[in-house]
Amino acid sequence: MLTVGFALCGSYCTFKKVIAQLEILTQDKDLIIVPIMSENAYSLDTRFGTAKDFVKEVEELTKNKVLHSLNEVEPIGPKNLLDALIIAPCTGNTLAKLAAGVADTSVTFAAKAHLRNEKPIIIGISTNDALAAAAKNIGALHNAKNFYFIPYRQDDCKKKPNSIVADFTKTRVALDCALRHEQTQPVIIG
C-alpha cells in the first residue's frame, strides 16, 4: 500500500483534466490519496467553477479531507506520511517557490516537509510563462534531487507562445517512474 499526496494549485483551467487523473488514481486499491490544495485553489471561485464544488469533488473521490493550511500539512515530514507527492497543476508561482526553497503555502510547505524524507515529488506543470520567467525555475527543479516532471508540451504556441502544460494523462506513469527515482521520458513532448 502506497500513500500519495495529491496537491492542486491555482491553474483552474486544468482542474477538470487533473481531477480526471485523480479519479483514475483513486481506483487503484493499493493507493491511499491524501488531497492537498493551495489556499487559493481551496477558496477562490473562478469562471471554471466554485472552490466549494472542487473541494467536494476531490474529497468524495479520495474519501479524505483536503489539507489546505500550513498546520494541516506540517506533519507530512516528521510523521513520514507520504511515499510520493504529486503537485498538479503546478503553477509558475509554486514552481518559483519550490526552486527558491520558499515554503509559505500549504503546497510548498507540504513539499518541504515531504523532501526531508528524500522521497519523490512529481510536478505537473501548468503556467503561461514557462518559456519566459519560469524557465529558470523549471531548469532548477529538473536539476534538483527528488523532483520529477509529468511530461509536458506547449499548449498553444500561437496564442500563448510561452505557455507549457503537462500531459496529465501521464500522471500515473510519472508516479511509477518517480517511485523508482527515474524521470519519465521523453519529458518534453510534441
Closest CA to 3 of 32, 24, 30: 32
Per-residue pLDDT of the chain (190 residues; tens, 9 = 90+): 999 999 999 888 899 999 999 999 999 999 999 999 999 999 988 999 999 999 999 999 999 999 999 999 999 999 999 999 999 999 999 999 999 999 999 999 999 999 999 999 999 999 998 989 999 999 999 999 999 999 999 988 899 999 999 999 999 999 999 999 999 999 999 8
Cell of 106: 500549504
Instruction: For the chain, give every domain's residue range.
Output: 2-179
Burial 64-75 (b: 16+ CB within 10 A, else e): bebbbebeebbe
* Architecture category of domain 2-179 in CATH: 3-Layer(aba) Sandwich (3.40)
Closest CA to 141 of 158, 127, 155, 161: 127
What's the chain's Rg over C-alpha atoms? 15
